[in-house]
A and B are shown apart, each in its own frame.
Chain A
Amino acid sequence: MIELTSLLTPLAILIVLLLAAAWSTWLERRLLGIWQDRLGPNRVGPFGLFQVIADMIKIFTKDDWIPPFADKALFVIAPMILMIMTLLGFAIIPFSPDIQITEFDNALLFVLALSSLSVYSIMLAGFSSNSKYALLGALRTTAQMLSYEVFMGLALMGVVVIAGSFSLNDIVHAQSQYWFILSQPLGFLLFLFAGVAESHRAPFDLPEAETEIVAGFHTEYASMKFGMFFIGEYLGVIFISALITTLYFGGWQGPFLPPIVWFTLKTVFFVMFFILLRAAIPRPRYDQLMSFGWSILLPLALLNLLLTAVWKLTIGV
């Protein structure tokens, strides 16, 4: 019986996540529509909710074309890496006190490791496509993700210092008095920036800046392989939102409502925030983004860590 639940929980989470990622495309299109004074998809099903199904049918039945000039093996593997790495990340997220796939002490390091690994997906996609636009996109992504990894890790250290643990469960429990957003506002902002850059969403969507380099690293991708990148991006957004919720907004904690509802509400809020960013802000230039990272975010992240450490040592919580 125990074995069955331990199998069923991950499966259920996997399905829910994939559906959530699929429907967040609908959410994005509807919200963008509302913010941009238009309707968005509203024809298929109630509120256009079944648009996602129609899109899935389309994307599954499309010609699964691999360009003859591409490196076939890598070309096929690349989108899988992204999906797998992002999905693996969810394994350590405490959705509620009882819903969590696995739990271990260095969970946060695991998260950072996974996000580093997912860079390979984009890099390989860009190189294996053997196309110039894909190559430029991959170059931009690799540089961007590697740099923002650094600030992401450093920003997280503030939380780790206060909670005194790398374990996400411990971090959530440490927030029972107050949310870490209160003690780590700067850390939260840094993590948010890094998170947007990591999931390469607008305004940090330089790897796939369509007005500049067409579709960036996935220019040559079609059908479900493109779909994997597409869903992978939304999974990334959900993952970053879930992390923000867990690390800075008390995770599943909250009054009256059941924990899973609190967790979902908070996460959806941040997913919507990601979408709002896309509707509102133009895109900086690639070198501006990099210098913003290295010359502003990095010193700030170090400062944040320093202040947190001083605070912890002097006042001690």
Chain B
Amino acid sequence: MNINTKAMSLHKIQSEKNPQTLSLAMLPELDSLLRGSSQQQTCVDQILTLWIDKTLLIPALKLLKGMQQPFDLLFDLYAVDERLRLDKNTIPAKDFTLIYQLMSVSRNQDIRLKVALPQDQAHISTITGFWPSANWYEREAWDLFGIVFDDHPNLYRLLLPPTFKGHPLRKEFPGRATETEPFSLDDERLAIEQEALKFDPKRWGMEENNKNNDYMFLNLGPNHPSVHGVFRIALQLNGEHIINSVPDIGFHHRGAEKIAERQTWHGFIPYTDRIDYLGGVMNNFPYILAIEQLANIQVSERVKCIRIMLAECFRILSHMLFFGTFAQDVGQLSPIFYLFIDREKLFGIIEAITGARMHPSWFRIGGLAQDLPQGWDRMMQEFIDEFPKKLDEYEVMVMHNSILKRRAVGIGKYNTQEALDWNITGAGLRATGLNLDLRKTRPYSGYENYEFEVPTANNGDAYDRCQLRIDEMRQSVKIIQQCINNMPQGDFKTDHPLTTPPNQRSKQDIETLIQHFLNVSWGPVMPKGESCFAVEATKGINAYTLISDGSNTSYRTRIRTPSFAHLQMIPKMAKGLMVADLIVILASIDFVMADVDR
């Protein structure tokens, strides 16, 4: 009896910790809509996954979006090419699967709808009509998989150049340059490429003139001082007023998702660092957690604590750069230098711990690359004693400046509903007053044991977005302090056959040595399954969805990055404002082009 209640209470705690456990019975409207036509799939991430018929998709999505306690965030939309799956017979789809993953803020639950598409009829109707943020996601799926979305307003290539042939995330498309013809740019091809680059306002959905005036079209980027990387915005201007703006992305596309299908599970870790290149180990976090969820690997408290500490360090590092560039883009030249000096100090600590500065690739499956070095706590303590005072000073210098306030207050404003419609997460969403932080709502890696607040603001403008990130830095300092005070003892790597690097036993025992040898040469073989893990990254919610068919590489790795969604909202935010306001908006979004294009 006693044991039973214990088990009950344990179960209760677990379900509280895992709020995403959702069943179809909890959604009676959806159940009656589907009338038993759906097929449920069990995934290791416990997200309710339903295979539904193509014709039922739009009613189902509309229902979920409009119901009581709605699924208001189109968290992700992506495709999978199922044709080469080893465990193909376990799933209904023969060729392609289209996955719509929704998140409900009020329920704190996710749902995943899957639609099977045969190769000869790989088309489906668009959902941009009622879910504006689907636009780019659908274009991406068309670009990379060739899935046609009927009635889509502009189904053009998004990440790849307009002249690109083929759909590279399809399995038949070669993943290595050596498998293709060597690239050459002869005159004929050059002419074709040049022709494709010509700017045609109509193709971008802009009119050249109206009755009264001709518009000016300004090409902001891909090389421009304040687009932070290679990002292009085509502007339709009337004087300096923005009539329309169309972001153009893809200049930083490296096919990270394709690379993930070729690298071993372990070998892909360094690639994740470079997705949001200011996030460092923050990118390892969702990837590693998704793998550990897939393979059911438990890590020690020490590992959890170190991971959190490093991740919060990178949150501070990323926010510092954001803060400095924000001030610089508004025309304040000095703060960036002060922040770089502090950043340098923190990078010094990161370097002392991990051996690298921006891209440590330090998390491992089931642990970390190394234990903390001696004296790490003293260095870290020194920094967090000193940094908040400096931050106060910088805050006065930048945020209390009346010119900056005039430039940023009320600029690029949106409300919570708009933010959710456009798939905005992170500080951009919290600035509208909605308190959504995965560290609080779905604590991972032991965040529930830390005391910190989630700052929010009410206006949802550029100024609030900047102010929030400053407050977040203070909370991160608080978390790091708790890590220093309560660093648990324990192993820095779990004793599990799939973890790397190997444990000491491999030197004595031939079986573990073989396992080690295979893990290193082939790479560890992960069990079959689907695992999605989302973390509150520096710029918003970053999630990795891994589909394993039981081999040494992932069958499909989907990287859901926050910046991708955020850039899509620029036209809405910038409409009617001036070019100088657009710069403030861009600065306040805090995006990294590598994070957008992957």
Contacts and interface: CB of A to CB of B under 8 A. Distances in A.
Interface of A: 32, 35-38, 132-133, 136, 139-140, 202-203, 205, 209-214, 278-288
Contact of B240 (A36, A202, A279, A286): A286
A243 to B, nearest CB: 25
B407 A284 contact: yes
Interface stretch (B156-164, B218-226, B446-454, B555-563): B218-226
Contacts of A136: 218, 240, 579
Given A212-B579, A283-B332, 15 more contacts: A36-B333, A37-B341, A211-B225, A211-B226, A211-B331, A212-B583, A213-B579, A279-B333, A281-B331, A282-B327, A282-B331, A282-B403, A285-B578, A286-B578, A287-B578
Interface in B218-267: 218-219, 224-226, 239-240
A212 B407 contact: no
Given A35-B334, A212-B226, A282 B404 contact: yes
Given A132-B218, A210-B225, A213-B579, A281 B403 contact: yes
B75 to A, nearest CB: 33
Contact of B580 (A38, A281, A285): A285
Contacts of B580: 209, 212, 285-286
Nearest to B226: A211
Interface in B196-230: 216, 218-219, 224-226
A2 B401 CA distance: 56
Which interface residue of A214, A284, A288 has the most chain B CB atoms within 10 A? A284
B40 interface: no
A278 B225 contact: no
23 contacts: A35-B334, A36-B333, A37-B338, A37-B341, A132-B216, A133-B218, A136-B218, A202-B331, A203-B403, A211-B329, A212-B583, A213-B579, A214-B225, A280-B332, A281-B332, A281-B401, A281-B403, A282-B331, A282-B403, A282-B407, A283-B330, A285-B578, A288-B406
Contacts of B334: 32, 35-36, 279-280
Given A136-B240, A210-B225, A278 B333 contact: yes
B331 A37 contact: no
A278 B331 CA distance: 9
A140 B240 CA distance: 10
B240 to A, nearest CB: 6
A176 B487 CA distance: 73
A39 to B, nearest CB: 11
A136 B580 CA distance: 12
Contacts of A282: 327, 330-332, 401, 403-404, 407
Give me the 9 closest cross-chain CB pairs, A-B, nearest first: A283-B331, A282-B332, A36-B337, A211-B226, A282-B331, A282-B330, A285-B580, A211-B329, A282-B403
Interface residues on B, range: 20 to 34
Interface string B326-355: 011111111001100100000000000000
Contacts of B81: none
Given A32-B333, A282-B407, A211 B338 contact: no
A202 B329 CA distance: 13
Nearest to B223: A214
B516 to A, nearest CB: 49
Which interface residue of B219, B328, B337 has the most chain A CB atoms within 10 A? B337
B138 interface: no
A301 B149 CA distance: 63
A121 B293 CA distance: 66
Nearest to A135: B216
Interface in B288-338: 327-334, 337-338
Contacts of A280: 332, 334
Contact of B337 (A38, A213, A214, A278): A38
B456 to A, nearest CB: 26
Interface string B552-596: 000000000000000000000000001111010000000000000
Contacts of A211: 225-226, 328-331, 583
B245 to A, nearest CB: 14
Which interface residue of A35, A203, A282 has the most chain B CB atoms within 10 A? A282
Contacts of B333: 32, 36, 202, 278-279
B544 to A, nearest CB: 34
A202 B403 CA distance: 13
Contacts of A287: 578
Contacts of B239: 139
Interface in B377-424: 401, 403-404, 406-407
Nearest to A36: B337
Contacts of B403: 203, 281-284
B224 A214 contact: yes
A34 B337 CA distance: 11
Contacts of B332: 280-283
B413 to A, nearest CB: 16
A36 B331 contact: no
Interface string B520-561: 000000000000000000000000000000000000000000
B344 to A, nearest CB: 11
Nearest to A209: B331
A280 B338 CA distance: 12
Contacts of B225: 210-211, 214
A284 B578 contact: no
Nearest to B330: A282
Contacts of B406: 284-285, 288
A35 B397 CA distance: 13
Contacts of B328: 211
Contacts of A284: 403, 406-407
A212 B331 CA distance: 9
Contacts of B338: 36-37
B292 to A, nearest CB: 42
Contacts of B216: 132
A136 B327 CA distance: 23
Contacts of A214: 224-225
Contacts of A213: 579
Nearest to B587: A211
A302 B187 CA distance: 65
A99 B579 CA distance: 47
Which interface residue of A32, A36, A205 has the most chain B CB atoms within 10 A? A36
A306 B285 CA distance: 68
Contacts of A212: 226, 579-580, 583
Nearest to B404: A282
A124 to B, nearest CB: 19
A287 B579 CA distance: 11
Contacts of A209: 331, 580
Contacts of A278: 333
Contacts of A285: 406-407, 578, 580-581
Which interface residue of A139, A209, A283 has the most chain B CB atoms within 10 A? A283
B250 to A, nearest CB: 22
A282 B329 CA distance: 9
A202 B327 CA distance: 14
A107 B401 CA distance: 39
Contacts of B331: 202-203, 205, 209, 211, 281-283
